[in-house]
Chains A and B, each alone.
Chain A
């Protein structure tokens, strides 16, 4: 009996996990704006206090279509969104048409190490609701720093990288890969990556 109790305690303390059974996680994620994607993710949205990695074959493949609904929701609620070193110009009329409150969208012009530093500062500050970055290298340590910064700053961090990094390990809590026009979850903290591929309507 005592052993049974101990087992229950361990389960309650989440030191022990049932194999194959998905643990009930609080659905406290930042809604992505795509109900189909929310259903796939363990937190029901973008993980908070964590880094999300989007792996793309090239720029302009639909990464903004994925992100814009949540960015629009965050900025309309008064949250601050920072883009650190975007590869192109975020075209103001289109972003506004997508519902983004441009007064809450800040851009930081930086590249290379400065961009990583700036993104870490923004993530760590606690002043931003979401920070997007386009780091160039495949440095695992840099991403780990960003992940820690996102955790201490209570912020949603996003890094958009080339898909050749997909094979490398990454400290990001959620990794999405864009393949043949569909998003595949490579890794999600707190659950098994679902095998379904999500296609967003253009």
Chain B
């Protein structure tokens, strides 16, 4: 395995600059308590004016009167590092962000896809420049060695495991990323290079500097396995767009919606997952309102999800101005693409049934698309039931005398002087156990207009016809 390490020397600053409208003007990240503010990092323009990290804010103001100040937040730095890990995950399946300001990824397995290392490296550098992060990249047979080499010189690449020890032996101990302050202490003891350190007896080193140093050396040289905390894409999607102005019409929300859904679908395709339920959160000055979007089966087609979300959004009344929009998808089930016939004779603009069903549900409501299935109950109202449009199997009905093809939702009184009984009665007497007792004599009758109807009389009586269905 070959490991690439991407060192991000200005992670916190780049995270701010890439979103700043004027990155070329002097800017400094400020940290520390209110009475003792100091500079955490400065950009090129500020450095040219003499500002430097660690400088007191008052001293900085004496040097340069006007520069932009942004509070340094360590949580934001971690978030950007996670974002870069997600970016790196597109290039390799083994990505780790366990060391601060560095991303480590296994590169060799990706050579077949992205080409040999020089080309792969160019690609990584190009994408990082596009994203706006300054970086140093090194390649080595162990992740730790890659991290150490990236700290030494940008662009270093060692692909032969045999060449690694000789190179590492020349690394100064203070650049060897030894645990705690071991590097400084060793240098004071007169040990300059890692090679000298390695020549020392292991037991004595362990006694003086602890187990951690010995393990670090073994992992650095590839003599022991280096267990990294690998990056796993999170189980949920949560992205938000700040609108920057107040929006109270649906059309103005469609553009941010399209961007959010597009991000979601990119994320889903990285995860090889789909989404079945997500929430669009419209943020107001105070509070928020949620628009739920639910599907019957997982999907990940951007155009379809956008259309569905749009359908749901447009049914929602925007009572208060919207200042931000957030898309939350907590549950991302695996996505199984529908099998499509290669030679299917279908025109390009056709939809398949799941897409059509979701489109109908988006406009007409979740319950609007359904199927019917027979049930065992002899009472006509309960001999059928609604079942969801998807999934449930439908069993056969028990054999019974002929039943009408249209059933009225409720029996209605039937007044017809020319009523003619064609067959019957069939007595249905059931339901004493659930309080919905039914005792009826059902007849097939013909009305004066020639319709064949299914009507009943209360059991044992001769009048009071109730119409319950049509033999259409």
Chain A complexes with chain B: yes
Interface residue from B360, B365, B384 paired with A91 (Cβ < 8 Å): B384
Q: When the two chains form their complex, are residues B470 and A59 in contact, meaning their CB atoms are under 8 A apart?
A: yes
Interface residue from B365, B375, B451 paired with A60 (Cβ < 8 Å): B451
Q: Which residues of B contact A65 (CB under 8 A)?
A: 405, 471-472
Q: When the two chains form their complex, are residues B350 and A153 in contact, meaning their CB atoms are under 8 A apart?
A: yes
- A136 CB–B CB distance under 8 Å: no
The secondary-structure label for the interface of chain A is mixed
Q: Which residues of A contact B403 (CB under 8 A)?
A: 91, 93-94, 97
- B404 CB–A CB distance under 8 Å: yes
Q: When the two chains form their complex, are residues A110 and B389 in contact, meaning their CB atoms are under 8 A apart?
A: no
Interface residue from A59, A103, A110 paired with B472 (Cβ < 8 Å): A59
Q: Which residue of A lies closest to B470 (CB)?
A: A60
How many whole Å from A93's CB to the nearest CB in chain B? Answer: 4
Q: Which residues of A contact B453 (CB under 8 A)?
A: 60
Q: A95 to B359, alpha carbons, bound, how many Å?
A: 27
A residues 80-106 touching B (CB-CB < 8 Å): 80, 86-98, 102-103, 105-106
- A137 CB–B CB distance under 8 Å: no
- A152 CB–B CB distance under 8 Å: yes
- B279 CB–A CB distance under 8 Å: no
Q: Which residue of A lies closest to B453 (CB)?
A: A60
Known: A91-B405, A97-B403, A181-B450. A109 touches B370 (CB 8 A): yes
Interface residue from B372, B408, B471 paired with A95 (Cβ < 8 Å): B372
- A126 CB–B CB distance under 8 Å: yes
Q: When the two chains form their complex, are residues B451 and A61 in contact, meaning their CB atoms are under 8 A apart?
A: yes
Q: When the two chains form their complex, are residues A114 and B363 in contact, meaning their CB atoms are under 8 A apart?
A: yes
How many whole Å from B293's CB to the nearest CB in chain A? Answer: 18
Taken residue by residue from 91 to 131, chain A's Cβ proximity to chain B (1 for < 8 Å, 0 otherwise) reads as 11111111000110111111000100110011001111000
Q: A107 to B364, alpha carbons, bound, how many Å?
A: 12
- A64 CB–B CB distance under 8 Å: yes
Q: Which residue of A lies closest to B372 (CB)?
A: A92
How many whole Å from B472's CB to the nearest CB in chain A? Answer: 4
Q: A58 to B450, alpha carbons, bound, how many Å?
A: 10
Taken residue by residue from 436 to 464, chain B's Cβ proximity to chain A (1 for < 8 Å, 0 otherwise) reads as 00000000000001111100000000000
Q: When the two chains form their complex, are residues A92 and B374 in contact, meaning their CB atoms are under 8 A apart?
A: yes
Q: When the two chains form their complex, are residues B371 and A110 in contact, meaning their CB atoms are under 8 A apart?
A: no
Q: Which residue of A lies closest to B392 (CB)?
A: A103
B residues 256-309 touching A (CB-CB < 8 Å): none
- B346 CB–A CB distance under 8 Å: yes
Q: When the two chains form their complex, are residues A125 and B356 in contact, meaning their CB atoms are under 8 A apart?
A: yes
- A186 CB–B CB distance under 8 Å: no
How many whole Å from B269's CB to the nearest CB in chain A? Answer: 24
Known: A92-B383, A92-B397, A125-B351. A64 touches B372 (CB 8 A): no
Q: When the two chains form their complex, are residues A103 and B393 in contact, meaning their CB atoms are under 8 A apart?
A: yes
A residues 37-60 touching B (CB-CB < 8 Å): 57-60
- B368 CB–A CB distance under 8 Å: yes
How many whole Å from A132's CB to the nearest CB in chain B? Answer: 12
Taken residue by residue from 396 to 429, chain B's Cβ proximity to chain A (1 for < 8 Å, 0 otherwise) reads as 1100101111111100000000000000000000
- A69 CB–B CB distance under 8 Å: no
Q: Which residue of B lies closest to A181 (CB)?
A: B450
Q: Which residues of A contact B364 (CB under 8 A)?
A: 108-110, 114, 118
Q: Which residues of A contact B365 (CB under 8 A)?
A: 109
Q: Which residues of A contact B352 (CB under 8 A)?
A: 125, 127
How many whole Å from A18's CB to the nearest CB in chain B? Answer: 33
Known: A61-B451, A93-B374, A103-B393. A109 touches B367 (CB 8 A): yes
Interface residue from B347, B356, B394, B397 paired with A152 (Cβ < 8 Å): B347
- A68 CB–B CB distance under 8 Å: yes
Q: When the two chains form their complex, are residues B347 and A126 in contact, meaning their CB atoms are under 8 A apart?
A: yes
Q: A30 to B427, alpha carbons, bound, how many Å?
A: 40
How many whole Å from A129's CB to the nearest CB in chain B? Answer: 11
Q: When the two chains form their complex, are residues A106 and B383 in contact, meaning their CB atoms are under 8 A apart?
A: no
Q: A109 to B471, alpha carbons, bound, how many Å?
A: 22
A residues 58-78 touching B (CB-CB < 8 Å): 58-65, 68
Q: A95 to B352, alpha carbons, bound, how many Å?
A: 25
- B469 CB–A CB distance under 8 Å: yes
Q: When the two chains form their complex, are residues A106 and B470 in contact, meaning their CB atoms are under 8 A apart?
A: no
Q: When the two chains form their complex, are residues B350 and A127 in contact, meaning their CB atoms are under 8 A apart?
A: yes
Q: When the two chains form their complex, are residues B394 and A98 in contact, meaning their CB atoms are under 8 A apart?
A: no
Q: When the two chains form their complex, are residues B368 and A91 in contact, meaning their CB atoms are under 8 A apart?
A: no
B residues 344-395 touching A (CB-CB < 8 Å): 346-347, 349-353, 355-357, 359-360, 363-365, 367-375, 380, 383-385, 389, 393-394
Q: When the two chains form their complex, are residues A92 and B351 in contact, meaning their CB atoms are under 8 A apart?
A: no
Q: Which residue of A lies closest to B399 (CB)?
A: A97
Q: Which residues of B contact A (CB under 8 A)?
A: 346-347, 349-353, 355-357, 359-360, 363-365, 367-375, 380, 383-385, 389, 393-394, 396-397, 400, 402-409, 449-453, 469-472
List 29 contacting pairs A-B, 8 Å CB cutoff, sorted by A: A60-B451, A60-B452, A60-B469, A60-B470, A61-B450, A61-B451, A64-B405, A65-B471, A68-B405, A88-B470, A90-B405, A90-B406, A91-B383, A93-B384, A96-B374, A96-B397, A98-B405, A103-B371, A106-B371, A107-B371, A107-B372, A108-B360, A109-B367, A109-B369, A121-B356, A121-B359, A122-B356, A127-B350, A127-B356
Shortest Cβ-Cβ A-B pairs, 10 listed: A60-B470, A126-B350, A88-B406, A92-B384, A64-B472, A93-B397, A91-B407, A94-B403, A127-B353, A125-B351
In the complex, given contacts A92-B374, A98-B405, A110-B368, what are 11 additional A-B residue pairs having Cβ atoms less than 8 angstroms apart?
A60-B404, A91-B380, A94-B404, A102-B372, A103-B371, A109-B369, A114-B363, A125-B356, A126-B350, A127-B350, A152-B349
Q: Which residues of A contact B (CB under 8 A)?
A: 57-65, 68, 80, 86-98, 102-103, 105-110, 114, 117-118, 121-122, 125-128, 152-154, 180-181, 202
